[in-house]
């Protein structure tokens, strides 16, 4: 534009004047917006993210621990769980954007501490307990479009305190405990498309209340409770080879931590240890480096919190200060971690 403008000024006459006006029009149109317009644009930009920090959301309408929790189509469903006196079937729904709560169709049976997963916008619940003493093998599926539940093929193994990961639309149900109190190394996969189950290679260590998540192509199963107490045992599963291998142990052995996989790392927050003390410790595990890193501590110590990941944030719902049903205090906290 500078060359055109300079050449125009050297020409005289009407044609040169017209071209000059045309050039000035283009220069003016391409000029920066007024200062107040720049300020308005800046004011609409999203606020800067402060990493490795915790915040809180609107408390849950009903305080509970051991719920089955998952993010689904922008909402987070907190299903079942226990209060200080009862097992629930209700379905509390959290909207992270509005920071508000609503309700959806209740689970057909009171249940807590089962595995939960989402595939193709359907929420699945696996096992758990209906009464605090017997573990079940029931499988339920929730469709948010119809706000209805339906029964699916039962798990081959009845269990409580089982946890899940999803890879290529296949749900892997890992570990758990049976009605007799035996800690399981059982791994079974469920294909929602065929409503069928397959037995997979077992864990190297039988344990329940594990922190499980898919990191890249590895299903990580960290920590948990064994026949002799808490463990920092950490294992990685390769679905292609159907095999487990040992990974770096967690420096903080614990069970029932709030867990989520975000950005190539598995995050663990809270949980409890052998003394049944609730923790605030937050750590991340990076598979590519086989390394644990300590993060900012949770504001409130909890064990048995429901966990979900939504838009890169880890949400921890409720929990308690004891890792047994009907014992200790039950909380309605919503604690949110920004990696």
- Distance CA(230)–CA(166), nearest Å, equals 25
For residues 270, 133, 177 and 121, what is the CA-based torsion angle, rounded to 10 degrees?
A: -70
The per-residue pLDDT for 277 is 87
Each domain of the chain, given as residue ranges in start order, spans 2-43, 53-338
The DSSP H or E segment spanning 109 is none
The yes-or-no verdict on residue 243 having pLDDT over 70 is yes
The yes-or-no verdict on residue 22 having pLDDT over 70 is no
Quickly list DSSP for 118-158.
EETTEEEEE--BSSSS-B---EEEEETTTTEEEEEPPPSS-
Kindly report the number of other CB atoms within 10 A of residue 119's CB atom.
Answer: 17
DSSP 260: E
Confidence of residue 44 (pLDDT cuts 50, 70, 90): low
From 293, 310, 210, select the one nearest 253 (Cα to Cα).
Answer: 210
Question: Is the Cα dihedral 91, 107, 319, 265 positive or negative?
Answer: negative
Confidence of residue 274 (pLDDT cuts 50, 70, 90): confident
b/e for 42-79, b at 16 or more Cβ within 10 A?
eeeeeeeeeeeebeebeebebbbbbbbbbbbeebbbbb
Confidence of residue 27 (pLDDT cuts 50, 70, 90): very low
CATH T-level assignment (fold) for domain 53-338: Neuraminidase (2.120.10)
Q: What are phi and psi of 23, to 5 degrees?
A: -65, -45
- CB of 298 closer than 8 Å to CB of 270: yes
The per-residue pLDDT for 48 is 86
The per-residue pLDDT for 73 is 95
In this prediction the pTM is 0.86
* Rounded mean pLDDT, 67-79: 98
Of 20-29, 82-91, 193-202, least confident by mean pLDDT is 20-29
The per-residue pLDDT for 276 is 79
């Amino acid at each position: 534009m500078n060359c055109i403008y300079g050449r125009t000024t050297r020409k005289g006459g009407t044609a040169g004047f017209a071209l000059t006006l045309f050039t000035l029009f283009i220069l003016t149109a391409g000029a920066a917006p007024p200062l107040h317009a720049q300020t308005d644009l800046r004011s609409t930009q999203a606020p800067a993210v402060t990493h490795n920090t915790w915040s809180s959301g609107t408390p849950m309408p009903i305080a509970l621990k051991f719920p089955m929790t998952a993010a689904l189509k922008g909402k987070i469903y907190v299903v079942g769980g226990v209060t200080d006196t009862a097992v629930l079937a209700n379905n509390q729904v959290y909207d992270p954007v509005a920071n508000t709560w609503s309700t959806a169709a209740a689970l057909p049976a009171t249940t807590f501490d089962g595995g939960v997963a989402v595939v193709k916008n359907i929420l699945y619940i696996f096992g758990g307990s209906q009464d605090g003493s017997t573990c079940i093998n029931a499988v339920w599926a929730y469709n948010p479009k119809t706000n209805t539940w339906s029964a699916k093929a039962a798990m081959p193994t009845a269990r409580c305190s089982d946890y899940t990961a999803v890879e290529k639309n296949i749900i892997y149900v890992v570990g758990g405990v049976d009605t007799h109190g035996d800690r399981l190394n059982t791994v079974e996969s469920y294909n929602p498309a065929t409503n069928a189950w397959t037995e997979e290679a077992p864990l190297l260590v039988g344990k329940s209340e594990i922190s499980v998540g898919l990191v890249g192509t590895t299903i990580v199963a960290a920590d948990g409770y064994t026949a002799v107490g808490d463990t920092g045992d950490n294992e990685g599963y390769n679905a292609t080879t159907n095999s487990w291998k040992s990974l770096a142990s967690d420096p903080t052995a614990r069970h029932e931590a709030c867990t989520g996989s975000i950005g190539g790392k598995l995050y663990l927050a809270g949980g409890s240890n052998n003394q049944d003390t609730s923790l605030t410790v937050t750590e991340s595990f990076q598979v590519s480096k086989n390394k644990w890193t300590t993060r900012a501590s949770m504001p409130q110590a909890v064990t048995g919190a429901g966990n979900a990941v939504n838009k890169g944030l880890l949400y921890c719902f409720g929990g308690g200060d004891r890792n047994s049903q009907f014992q200790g205090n039950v909380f309605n906290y919503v604690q949110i971690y920004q990696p």
